[in-house]
Structure 1
């Protein structure tokens, strides 16, 4: 609960997806101030909604005029987020929003990254936790962030463009990646194939 210090009273819609986080969310929200609407917190071992279903959450957030909507996958390691407009906050956007709080602290100066994440919705914090992809732990973070940074909706509107994804047929992926790799290496890029292909250039990676 330390991560929620300084958080304003928020209106939040929660969807546990009949998964492992239901009991935790019921007890967590009992300790938080604000307005909380919980759905699908009953555990169903068949996990009928393996991936977060954000459509119902969007409708609830818009109908109630809430600040946030938060959904979990069945085992509670991924999170889906809705802003006050009922729009989906994509994982890379959410990660960047949270990073603004972390990267203003002295943790940025210490060796090692204080925050990390991936486009599938997993986010990791090193501070006050074990560096695991625990969506319930991550859920607390935006509460205090909203208190410090302001509305998540307003922040999202300031972004220059949404997540860009280049579609490529499976049959062409190996050829395209090989071609890109050859071009980058020819320009002096360093390659790391520990997990896939990571090319490092003076401009970034």
Structure 2
């Protein structure tokens, strides 16, 4: 490695140049060009290099999604990392699971950083950091932020950067692990994200009748935003499933770590329902194992896991929280309502939309009836409930956590049992309601579920009464 000299005063940021709100609970995310800039990326790279070298890491994988701002950010990030001593393996434009796979399979390089804003709209970009197969979150992100605000050493050794193609190895690993043998007709909607080319390659290699939607990467996301949790982004997929009489549809997000499924009848199979399918499959073979899920997930999931002699484990919402809990408990599968599914039985414990979709196809292929009917039957076996999708209440990034503190301090919900593991989840004998601060957008999020519509409306009214003093016109969202 070669010695380089840098100016310490020019490599630190002022507090005004470093918006606090971009450092979220489990990643870094903000507006490209104004908050997440190449200068920001360079200084993040420098701070991360200093942090990792102190932990005796010398090499990091670098990937980026298909957003328009990602190439410049990745270049600046790589420069910051190498100028402060890290060796960088640039794997190019890939999905986040591909980056996770690269880190997992390399015993020497235990670190990775992905330039992505995941499901957010085109105006955003950000960074996901992985060290020792854990998402860097919370306290460590704050330490990196403080290091970005401080002066750097004015003399260090430079690292080097090299490129590597990992995508073909990643695809082959999925195929070797799980290759469902059946004549599926599937529609995939990749939202013009980076997932498109790799998804097409995978399903074509598996020999399926594939109808691709929006599989050409375009950082403008011209057809719809890359967020499959928003039902408005699923309408074209539903229409295509019906018009092509497909067995099912698969929707992926902007960096490929989330999945939402559409049944052959055009109904949304929400991720907590999908997790129920996976939990049932896992618990048949491994009874008494833990099944991890987030606070937004259905109470039917908890009931099912208990009925099948499993151990339901609720945790905070957020892919880093679920991933960490899966690894700490040894759970064989976990997931969250936004579509992150983590397999830890014969896969690697990270969230992967493509792998989760193939595991679903494997379950369907092993049944003796047509895949379309098999999926409908499995969903039909679950006890029905009345529920809402995720409800978003716009609140400024700088205010949303303060609002939640007020709600936590002043709302009583006298008739319910309060679970404050993440926001306020209030349990009633026949249902539940939730309000929490989103970690990825300027919103409070709510969700409700109950045995029947009457109870659902009753719980919503109870929440409306409790929240009205603190949230203007809360009724319009309920």
Provide TM-score, normalisation by structure 1: 0.78
Q: Which deviates the most, 140-149 or 85-94?
A: 140-149
1:179 and 2:412 matched: yes
Structure 2: gaps (5+ residues): 1-174, 291-328, 396-402, 427-478
Task: Report if aligned partners of 2:289, 2:332 keep a CA contact under 8 Å in 1.
Answer: no
Q: CA deviation at 1:119?
A: 1.0
Q: CA deviation at 1:30?
A: 1.9
Structure 1 partner of 2:205? 31
| Structure 1 residue matching 2:217: 3-state secondary structure | coil
Number of matched pairs: 194
Provide TM-score, normalisation by structure 2: 0.36
Aligned to 1:15, which of 162, 165, 189?
Answer: 189
More strand by share: 2
Structure 1 partner of 2:348? 130
CA distance in 2, matches of 1:133, 1:83: 22
Q: CA deviation at 1:196?
A: 4.7
Structure 2 partner of 1:70? 250
Map residues 5-154 of structure 1 onto 2, 5 A cutoff: 5-48=179-222, 49-52=225-228, 53-106=233-286, 109=289, 112-149=330-367, 151-154=374-377
| Structure 2 residue matching 1:179: 3-state secondary structure | coil
Task: Report if aligned partners of 1:4, 1:143 keep a CA contact under 8 Å in 2.
Answer: no
Deviations 1:33-64 (A, max 9, x none): 23111111111123442213211111111111
Deviations 1:78-133 (A, max 9, x none): 11210111111111111111222222223855962111111111111112322111
Structure 1: gaps (5+ residues): 186-190, 200-205
CA distance in 2, matches of 1:162, 1:177: 30
Point out 4+ residue stretches in structure 1 off by more than 4 angstroms: 107-111, 165-173, 175-178, 180-185, 195-199
Q: Flag the 1:66–1:112 CA change in 2: closer, same or farther, 3 A.
A: same
Alignment RMSD (CA, Å): 3.4
Q: CA deviation at 1:180?
A: 4.8
Aligned to 2:387, which of 142, 164, 178?
Answer: 164
Q: Which has the larger radius of gyration?
A: 2
Structure 2 partner of 1:203? none
Q: Looking at both structures, which has the greater relative contact order when contacts are Cα pairs under 8 Å and sequence separation is at least 6?
A: 1
CA distance in 2, matches of 1:136, 1:124: 11
